[in-house]
Amino acid sequence: MVLYWKTIIGNKKAWKPLLIAFLPTAIIGVTVYKLVKDVLLGNAMITVWALFLGGIALILLELLHKEKEGAVGKIEDITPKMPF
């Protein structure tokens, strides 16, 4: 959101896909909030390992990423029905 805030605020067409992507995440987040807060964030070792493994996964995925031939160039071109 920080990188694209001007595009998002100025382009009403981008709001719908963003809201569609946000709603399932919000519902899951509200549902498991207590578990995450009490169990996962309450344990420093779980937090450290999650950050470490998540960082390694991001680095590996970035190294393995190949740009697809019909890749979307602008956020406005993303639709909810687009395949991954």
Average pLDDT of 64-84?
A: 72
Residue with the two structure tokens 């890749």 = 71
**SS3 state at 20:** helix
For the chain, domain boundaries: 11-65
pLDDT band at 83 (very low <50, low <70, confident <90, very high): low
At residue 52, does pLDDT exceed 90?
yes
pLDDT band at 53 (very low <50, low <70, confident <90, very high): very high
Asked if 7 contacts 14 with a C-beta cutoff of 8 angstroms, the reply is yes
